[in-house]
Amino acid sequence: MKLAIGNDHVAVEMKREIKAYLEEKGIEVVDVGTNSTERFNYPVSGYKVAKLVAAGEVDGGVLICGTGVGISLAANKVKGIRACVCSEPYSAKLSKQHNNTNIIAFGARVIGVETAKMIVDEWLGAAYEGGRHQVRVDMISEIENTGELAAAK
């Protein structure tokens, strides 16, 4: 498995720890984030990880900023991306099973590294269930692709 990881200046230490944790599991990690605590605009990392995921160059992405909010918002602007910010493992697991998320995000100012590891584990261990969820994921894609949603008319 190959994942991309990205972060801003607030999340350098957590990024290092999560990257090492993933590598210990034998996962190849492409790190496009900053390693400096100098101010770094989170959309840059969000965009870079999202592009790698959308192009199929990696199997998924992990994004970390102060809250996980800004960096996931940026990633979600890239076509084909379903990024979700989570502060606990249950939502991370369900985000894969029901929403087929391809990027998980969290906040270095919000959760500790052990919770972050649990979130990553649950997300990586879960599989998209398809079935009844596919129609809803397809609706999200319809909004993304057309700017409209037929079911809402």
Cα separation of 78 and 149, whole Å?
19
- 113 token code pair: 């590294």
Q: Are 133 and 38 in contact, with CB atoms under 8 Å apart?
A: no
**Residues annotated within a binding site for D-ribulose 5-phosphate:** 8-9, 66-70, 99, 109, 132, 136
Q: Are 82 and 102 in contact, with CB atoms under 8 Å apart?
A: yes
Residue 84 annotated to the active site: no
Residue closer to ligand RB5, measured from CB, 66 or 80: 66
Give the binding site for ligand RB5 (CB under 6 A).
8, 10, 42, 65-67, 69-70
**Catalytic residue chosen out of the listed positions 84, 86, 98, 133:** 98
Cα separation of 104 and 92, whole Å?
7
Contacts of 146 (CB under 8 A, 6+ apart): none
Residue closer to ligand RB5, measured from CB, 72 or 102: 72
Residue closer to ligand RB5, measured from CB, 13 or 57: 13
Residue 133 annotated to the active site: no
Residue numbers annotated as active site: 65, 98
